[in-house]
Structure 1
Amino acid sequence: MENDVSTIVLTDENGEEKEFDVITKLDIEDKEYVIVIPSDEEEVDAIALRIDKDDNGEDVLVTIDDEDEFAMVSEAYELIFSEEDSNQ
């Protein structure tokens, strides 16, 4: 996935398209992740998604089901943003 993507559109389980703002992209242990938040909601939690490749080599975003993997991504995200807050 390109590093300069600022918004993406995802289709939910009901087939409805929703726009998300990309907060950051993370590269962890040879895998890529994005942290997104819904564009049209004010008080929301960030969502972490892994970037995988489909059979055609296209990027696909998948939810992180493994608790250890999710914890690793959450920790990296929190570390990045705690450093940014302390530098301001």
Structure 2
Amino acid sequence: MANEGTFWIDEEEGLLIIQDIDGVEERFVIEEELFIQDNRYLILVPEEDIEDENAEAFVLKIADDEDEDVLIVVDDDEEFQMVREHYESLP
């Protein structure tokens, strides 16, 4: 994957912040962080949508690529379903 920007997690605020190569930031509220089968997943909602009860969450996987963390959109149906089932089983 080409270096298209950077990201970091503000643990105090519970946010994932993505900055593109032009310095534009997008902020996402971390609804849940899951560790499943040695993978780390984040369930996210755009910060501007957090008050909207109909806002759709999405899933990103944080993967290691040559000792650098990268974000991967979970678009594989089976993987998405696995994460969803794990999330829904939480107390």
TM-score by structure 2 length?
0.70
Q: What whole-Å deviation, never above 9, does each CA across 1:4-58 have from its counterpart, x for those lacking one?
A: 721111257xx95310011111011111111111111132111111110122x12
Asked whether the equivalents of residues 32 and 44 of structure 2 are also in contact (C-alpha less than 8 Å), the reply is: yes
Tell me the percent identity: 38
Q: Kindly indicate which of the two structures has a greater share of residues assigned to strand.
A: 2
Cα deviation digits, residues 47-71 of structure 1 (max 9, x gap): 111110122x121111112111100
Q: 1:67 — aligned with what?
A: 77
Q: Could you tell me which of 19, 36, 39 is aligned with 2:47? A: 39
The letter for the 1-side match of 2:64 is K
Which ranges of structure 2 fall in alignment gaps of 5 or more residues?
A: 1-8
Cα RMSD between the aligned structures? 2.3
State which drifts further: 46-55 or 15-24. Answer: 15-24
**Mapping of residues 1-88 of structure 1, within 5 Å:** 5=11, 6-10=14-18, 16-41=24-49, 42-43=51-52, 44-55=55-66, 57-80=67-90, 83=91
Provide the rounded CA distance (Å) in 1 between the counterparts of 2:58 and 2:19.
Answer: 14
After the TM superposition, which segments of 4 or more aligned residues of structure 1 sit over 3 Å from their partners?
none
**SS of equivalent residue, structure 1 residue 40:** helix
User: Once structures 1 and 2 are overlaid, which stretch shifts more, 63-72 or 16-25?
Assistant: 16-25
Give 5+ residue unaligned stretches, structure 1: 84-88
Residues 64-86 of structure 1: CA deviation (Å, up to 9, x unaligned) = 12111100001111121xx2xxx
